[in-house]
Amino acid sequence: MNRLLAISLLLVSSVLAGCATHPSPELRPYTAQETRQLALEALSRRGLSFDEYQQQRAALTGQPQKSYGFDHQGEMNAERSVALKDRPS
């Protein structure tokens, strides 16, 4: 009886120990797309100014940097009544 109990306890403990171990994650290198995505996510968390962010993002993505500026239409004053062409004021 003791031998049967010892064998069953040993069997149950080995099964439970096998279930408790986690398999190691697959160790593979990141692809170029995954590396670029991780770099863009890290860049967005840095808290850079808009211009610095756009410069570094353009460098990461390999796209030419767009220049952001005013639209040269001037500012609009709410107190001034101006009728724009093709737009109701």
Q: What is the pLDDT of residues 11-58, one digit of tens each?
A: 888 877 777 666 666 678 888 899 889 999 999 899 888 888 888 998
Q: H or E segment at 75? A: none
pTM for the complete prediction?
Answer: 0.44
Contact criterion met (CB below 8 Å) for 60 and 43:
yes
How many C-beta neighbours within 10 Å does residue 68 have? 8
Contact criterion met (CB below 8 Å) for 36 and 56:
no
- Considering only CA atoms, which of 47, 65, 49 is closest in space to residue 57? 65
pLDDT of residue 54: 87
